[in-house]
Amino acid sequence: MIREALLYEKLTDSRVQCALCAHRCKINSGRRGLCGVRENKDGVLYSLVFGTLIAEHVDPIEKKPFFHVYPASRSYSIATVGCNFNCDFCQNHEISQMPRSTLMIMGEDTAPAVIVERSQKSSCKTISYTYTEPTVYLETALETAKIACLKGLKNLFVTNGFMTAETIEIMAPYLAAANVDLKSFRNEFYKKKCGAALQPVLDSLIKMKKLGIWIEITTLLIPGLNDSPEELKDIAAFISSLGSETPWHISRFHPQFRMLQVPSTPIASLHLARRIGKEAGLKYVYSGNVPGDEGENTYCSNCEKILINRNGYSIIDNLLSEDACPHCGKKLEGLF
- Give the domains, in start order, of the chain with CATH numbers: 3-47 (no CATH), 52-318 (3.20.20.70)
Mean pLDDT of 176-191: 98
If DSSP states are collapsed to H, E and C, what string results for the chain? CCEECCCEEECCCCCEEECCECCCCEECCCCECCCCCEEEECCEEEECCCCEECEEEEEEHHHCCCCCECCCCEEEEEECCCCCCCCCCCCCHHHHCHHHHCCCCCCEECCHHHHHHHHHHCCCCEEEECCCCHHHHHHHHHHHHHHHHHCCCEEEEEECCCECHHHHHHHHHHCCEEEEECCCCCHHHHHHHHCCCCHHHHHHHHHHHHCCCEEEEEEEECCCCCCCHHHHHHHHHHHHHHCCCCCEEEEECCCCCCCCCCCCCCHHHHHHHHHHHHHCCCCCEEEECCCCCHHHCEECCCCCCEEEEEECCEEEEECCECCECCCCCCECCCEC
Q: Is the pTM of this model over 0.85?
A: yes
pLDDT, tens digit, 9 for 90 and up, residues 85-116: 999 999 999 999 999 989 999 999 999 999 99
For the chain, give the mean pLDDT.
97
Given a cut of 90, whether residue 217 has pLDDT beyond it is yes
